[in-house]
Amino acid sequence: MERQVAAINRTPAEEGMPCPDVPTYAGDDLGARPDAEGTAFRVWAPTAAGVTLRLFAAGSPAEAGGAEPAETHELVPSEGGTWLVRCEGVGHGVYYDYVVRFPDGTVNRTADPWARAAGVNGRRSMVVDLRRTDPDGWGHDRRPCVPANELVIWETHIGDFSNDPHSGVPAEHRGRYLAFTHADTTVDGEGEFPTCVNYLHRLGVTAVQLMPFYDYGSIDESLPADDPARGFNWGYDPLNYNVPEGSYSTDPFHGEVRIRECKRMIQSLHAAGVKVIMDVVYNHMFSADNWFERMVPGYALRRRADGTLADGSGCGNDVATERAMMRRYIVESVAYWAREYHVDGFRFDLMGLIDVDTMNAVRAALDELPDGASILMHGEPWSARSTALDPAADVVLADKRGLPYLDPCIGAFCDSTRDAVRGHVFYQKVPGYLSGAADDFAVDIRHAEDAWRGTPHETAGVGQVIQYVSAHDDLTLWDKLCATMRGMPSDADYAADGPACDDLMAANRLAAGIVFSAAGVPFLLGGEEFARTKRGDADSYSSPASLNRLDWRRARRLRSLAGHYASLIRLRRGNPAWFGGPRTVVPRNDAVVVFLVGGDCVAVNPTDEARMQLTVELETPEPYGELERIDPGAWTCVYCSAGAGAGNGQVGKGSDEARVRGRALVLPPHSFTVWRRTRR
C-alpha cells in the first residue's frame, strides 16, 4: 500500500531513459580481495566483450617502474554479468587497473569502482590488506555514546580545521588527518587558548561533521601542500568512493598510508568523546567520464529521453541511484565506511536526488551493524535543479515531498528555520528576524522553536529536524548579517572589530540562542561561534585555503562569543526537554518570542528596548484544569546573552538587566534569556 501511495506521488522530473536491461550481481566479493595465497579480482561489466587486468609496481606512470604493467591477466565471464580472475602470489601493495573491451570496438581503461585503496590521484587501484592499515588500539576503538538530546553537530573541512599557521599543529600535519591526533594544541603553541580538538572539548560539541574525505578529483595529490598549483577544494567531486582522499595524508603515493591516517583521525576524535559524521556525495561524480561509465557505459548516470545527461546536481551529471547495482553500491559503500572506519554518521549531499528506497536501504544496512542504530543519517532534502527519471519507474526522491516516505531515523536540514532567522539564502541583502525584519518573522520563529510541529512545514518527526543558520554552503552567518545589516560591509565589519560591530554581535548571539533552544538537532558551521567570515564569498569551494581556513587568533579574540555558544551547549545538554519536549508558546503581539520548555522559560528579544513578560502568563495547566500558581519571585534568570559578562560561558549567572520587576520578567534589548523557577 505504501508503495502505491508513493507511486501516485512520485517526484516530478524530466522524462528520462529507462534502465538498461542488464544482469545484476548478488555476491559480496566485487573488487580485489586478497588472502594468504593471492588475490581474486572480480568486476561487474555485463556489456563487455572482454576484460584485461593490468598489475603495476607503482600507483602512477610517473613513479619509478610505474609506466608499464608488470603482469597482465585475462578475466573470464562469471555469474551476474561479472568477470573474474585469481592471481596467485599477488597481494597487498600491488597496483592495478583494467582494460575493458566492448563489442563495438570501444576500449576503455579504468580503475576499479569497487577498490578500497588507490595510488596517487586515484587513477590506479591498489590491493590492500585492511588489517595492515589498522592503527595501534584500533580493535578497542568504540563509537562515543551520545544521547539524542546531547547531540550538537559542528561542521568543518579537514584542511580548514588546521591550515592556519597559528593553529599550534606541527607544520607537517596541518591540513591533514593527523592534525586531529594532537589533543593539546593552543594558539601558536603558547598554552593559553585551545585550538582544534582541544578547542572542541572546551566548546562542548559532541559530533564533528567532516566535509568529504573520500578520494576526490579536483586536487593534484602529487604536488606539495604549499604548491599553488595544487589548489583547494571542498571535495564534492567523488572519484573513488571507498578510498580516503590522498591530499590529507602525509604520503599519497602509498595507498595504505591514507587509510591508516584516516583511521587515526577518527580514533582520536572518538577518544575525545566526539562522533564523526562523514559528508557523502552519492548524487553525482567528479565527471561523467568516471570508472562506472567506463566499466558499464550508459548505466550509472541518469539521462534524459534524448540521451543527454540529467543535471539536477548542477555538476553535469546525476547518479541513477534507483538502478539496482547503483543502489547496491551506495548501500555497501556507506556500510563499509561505518564498519571499516568506525564512522558514526553520514550527511548526504543533495539528498533530494537520491531515491527514498535507496536511502531506506542504507538505513536498514546500518541498523544491521553492531551498534548500528546509533549511526546517524541526515541530508539536504533538495536538489540544485530538476533531474530526469523514467516515468514508468515510479521513483520517489528524498526531497521535501519524499520525507514522509523516509525511515524516521533519517534527518533533514531545515532551511525554513535558517531563512526565518537570517533572511533568504539566495538574496543576500534580504533580512530575516534578526537582521531588520523581526515583526515579519516572529511567528515563524515561534514555529521554528517547536520544530514547525503542527504547521505545513512539518514533514518529519522532531528528531529528524536539523536546526541551523549556517553551513559550508552560502554566506556564513556573520557575512549574512553584514550583508543585511550593513548593505556595503566594511573591512571592520568583516573583521568584527570594535564596538561598531556590537549590533552584529548581538544578532549572532540571538541566532545561536534560537538554534540551540529549538526542538530538533542543533548544527553549526565550524567558526560560526567566533563570527567566521569569508568576506562575502558565498561559494568558496575552490577559493584559496587562506580564505577558507579557521582563524584561531580570531577565535581567541572573540572568545566571549564562543563562550556564549559553549553556555548554550551546556544549557541544552543539561535539560533533555530542549531536544524534543513540547514548547508552550506565550501569545504576544510584538516581535519578542517567549516559550516554556522543560521547566524553563526562554525569551528572545530582538528589539532595541527592554520588554516585559508577565509571570501570570507563564502559569501552566495542572490536572483537572487548574492553573499552577507561580510566585513571580520564583523565576530566576539563569542565563542572559546581553549586558555585563555576556558570553563568558557562565550558566547560572544572568544579567543585572534581566530581573523580575513586580509581576514581570524584564527582557533586556537584543537579549536571549533563560529563566528557571524554583518551587517553594
8 Å CB contact between 252 and 220: no
Residues 6+ apart with CB under 8 A from 324: 19, 24
Element (H, E) at 272: none
- Helices 415-422 and 502-517, interaxial angle, to 10°? 150
Which three-class secondary structure state does DSSP give residue 524?
strand
- The one catalytic residue in 349, 450, 479, 529 is 349
Helix (H, G, I), strand (E, B) or coil at 389: strand
Cell digits of residue 145: 555514546
Residue 235 neighbours by CB distance under 10 Å:
27
**Distance between CA atoms of residues 83 and 77, nearest Å:** 4
List Cβ neighbours of 474 (8 Å cut-off, separation of 6 or more). 425, 480, 538, 539
d(CA 580, CA 522): 12
Nearest to 572 by CA among 272, 208, 204: 204
Give residues with Cβ within 8 angstroms of 56, minimum separation 6: 66, 69, 70, 94, 95, 96, 97, 124
CA distance 25 to 12: 30
Runs of H (alpha helix) within 163-238 = 196-203
Write down the catalytic residue from 221, 237, 380, 419: 380
Return the closest-CA partner of residue 98 out of 87, 86, 110.
110
Phi/psi at 465 (nearest 5 deg)?
A: -90, 115
Q: Which residues pair with 636 in a beta bridge?
A: 676
Active site residue 380: yes
Would you list the DSSP string of 150-183? G--EEEE-HHHHH-STTS-S-GGGTTSGGGGG-T
Q: Which residues pair with 82 in a beta bridge?
A: 44
Contact in structure between 248 and 232 (CB atoms under 8 Å)? no
Q: Which cell is 657 given? A: 538587566
Beta carbons of 396 and 10 less than 8 angstroms apart: yes
Report phi then psi at 392, rounded to 5: -80, -10
Cell readout for 317 is 551529471
Q: How many Cα neighbours within 13 Å face the side chain of 100?
A: 26
Classify residue 398 by its DSSP letter. Answer: S
3-state secondary structure at position 76: strand
Single-letter amino acid, residue 385: R
Length of the chain: 680
Query: What is the rounded distance in angstroms from the CA atom of residue 45 to the CA atom of residue 48?
Result: 6
Question: What count of other Cβ atoms lies within 10 Å of the Cβ of residue 491?
Answer: 8
Alpha carbon of residue 657 to chain centroid: 38
Q: Which residues contact 416 (CB under 8 A, 6 or more apart)?
A: 444, 448, 452, 457
Known catalytic residues are 349, 380
